[in-house]
Structure 1
Amino acid sequence: MTENDRRWSIGEVAKASGVTIRTLYHYEEIGLVPASERTASGHRRYTEADLRRLYRVRALRGLGLSLEEIAGVLDRPGDDLTALRALLGAQLAELDLRAARIGQLKEQISGLLWMLDKEVMPDPEKFMAALELHSVYESFFGQELRDHLARRRAEIGEEGMAGIRAQWLDMLREARRHLLDGTPVDDPRVQTLATRWEAMAAGLQSGDRQVDERVTAAGMALWRSSGPELSAQLSRQIDWLDAGDLPALMDFFERARKAREGTG
């Protein structure tokens, strides 16, 4: 008997493939991997072609495809990979989104851990207020916008985001110094700083005007709703920033923009 003539029982297939007998029954019920033959007494017998199909199912399942998607791929001619390419492309996009969401979640958890580790006895009220702000943030930024922001952060990368944060802090510190010194908003130094500030904000945008406008609108609504709370939380993370500084600095940049445009 040649290898092509060999037949396997369901128990042998389960043992060799690592797929349970119950799963093999299910695959047959839905027509995914039926046993090609039966003995006179009705026992299933799997052919070499059946085993190859089963291993393809396992491989595609390992890539995250559903059984329905796998059936659609396997039912096409062997040289037609169009459907598989489309499915794998969609699966990769989904995995990218999951990775971006995980990155966003890691950033939030890292911030909360930083708050806990900063003091020997963290203030429970302040910590719970930080948690509440995360909930408020999600109420203004729906899942679609949060996914958009997560993807954009993933595109920029951790190193790029670290550079942007450092740049943001430097400009914030410089603006605070001008504000405390009473530097007029039309002063060339302030105007240069405001231009850099706007360029940094533009660099965070995706280029999709409609989505970017929605993100901006959500951010402004969040600031109007919870500006003092956001300022207080940020001031706890930045030693040189007082709780009331951030609103004053945002107003300073806005007045500088209006002075440049002649609308102030």
Structure 2
Amino acid sequence: MSGNGRRWSIGELAAASGVTVRALQHYDEIGLLRPGDRTSAGHRRYTERDLHRLYRVRALRGLGLSLDEVAAVLDDAGGDLREVLLAQLAALEAHAERVGRLAERVRELLGRLEDADPGPDDLLTILEMMSVFESYFSQQQRDDLAARRAALGPEAVEAAKREWASLVAEGIALLREDPRPEDVRVRALVRRWDEIGTRFHGADEGLTGAARAMWTDNATELAGRLPWSPDEPRALVELLGRARQVR
């Protein structure tokens, strides 16, 4: 053993620092914290300098830095602390945003559970439809829709849902007569359908376009729990689309 000062065995350092022996062995293997001394038998002995480095490792790990980032900062190998911390802050803020969105999804699902008592299959269907919804609308658009629903109030939202369901039933019945897109009844249906959508989308063409694309691509799935054949909701959406083009 060479040099002066206190020396700690790996077990003593683990007990004193709260870091496990296994972690200290790993730090040694990757070169993050190598013992400054060894006994004649080859056993690790850590110096006061090693102890201070370990405290810094723990502090940086506590900020969420990876072991590679910690090593870069401590060894000053392109690891400018300010830049590393700025990058870490950006990553943490992005993670917080993702957690916030996830919390909102769980909150929405719990709200649906309060209104009914769905079984496991129903819950999976709800989650699937939520995923479909998120794939067509940006986060800003989803926030705008949520704000519009809140402004309308729960009673108005439920009334719109009932009105829409009645409108779909009327449209399916009309569809069975094989009408042309320019039929006045089809055009009236389009006006009423779009009026309901406007309550939620306003004059935002982006929201309206995203909603129509979602319905066009997923009409069967979105209306699959309603009492019609799987193809009828999709055919109705296609008819409404052709009627808008004629108009």
Provide the TM-score with structure 2 as the length reference.
0.59
* Structure 1 counterpart of 2:222: 226
Please state whether the residue corresponding to 2:202 is helix, strand or coil: helix
* Structure 2 counterpart of 1:33: 33
* Structure 2 counterpart of 1:145: 135
* Alignment CA distance shift 1:216-1:58 (3 Å): farther
Alpha-carbon shift at residue 221 of structure 1 (Å)? 1.9
Provide the TM-score with structure 1 as the length reference.
0.56
Alpha-carbon shift at residue 13 of structure 1 (Å)? 1.7
* Structure 1 counterpart of 2:159: 173
Alpha-carbon shift at residue 165 of structure 1 (Å)? 4.1
Correspondence 1:171-210 to 2 at 5 A: 173=159, 176=163, 195-199=198-202
Query: How far does the alpha carbon of each residue in 1:159-211 deviate from its partner, in whole angstroms, 9 at most, with x for none?
Result: x937624527526636939x79xxx969xx99987654332866979xxxxxx
Distance 2:90 2:9 in 1: 36
* Alignment CA distance shift 1:217-1:98 (3 Å): same
Structure whose alpha-carbon radius of gyration is higher: 2
CA contact (8 A) 2:24 2:33 kept: yes
* Structure 2 counterpart of 1:100: 101
* Structure 2 counterpart of 1:19: 19
Query: How far does the alpha carbon of each residue in 1:137-176 deviate from its partner, in whole angstroms, 9 at most, with x for none?
Result: 37756xx839x86x558x949xx93762452752663693
Q: Which runs of 5+ in 1 are unaligned?
A: 117-125, 206-211, 233-246
Alpha-carbon shift at residue 14 of structure 1 (Å)? 0.9
Please state whether the residue corresponding to 2:7 is helix, strand or coil: coil
Correspondence 1:1-264 to 2 at 5 A: 5-76=5-76, 80-112=81-113, 114-116=115-117, 127-134=119-126, 136-137=128-129, 140=132, 145=135, 152=140, 156=143, 161=146, 164-165=149-150, 167=152, 169=154, 170=156, 173=159, 176=163, 195-199=198-202, 217-218=213-214, 220-229=216-225, 258=244, 263-264=246-247
Alpha-carbon shift at residue 109 of structure 1 (Å)? 4.4
Please state whether the residue corresponding to 2:116 is helix, strand or coil: helix
Distance 1:16 1:38 in 2: 19
Alpha-carbon shift at residue 15 of structure 1 (Å)? 1.3
CA contact (8 A) 1:140 1:221 kept: no
* Alignment CA distance shift 1:50-1:99 (3 Å): farther
Q: Which runs of 5+ in 2 are unaligned?
A: 171-186, 228-232
Distance 1:48 1:108 in 2: 54
Identity %: 36
Please state whether the residue corresponding to 2:223 is helix, strand or coil: helix
**Cα RMSD (Å) of the superposition?**
4.8
CA contact (8 A) 2:64 2:88 kept: no
How many residue pairs get aligned? The number is: 212
Alpha-carbon shift at residue 19 of structure 1 (Å)? 0.9
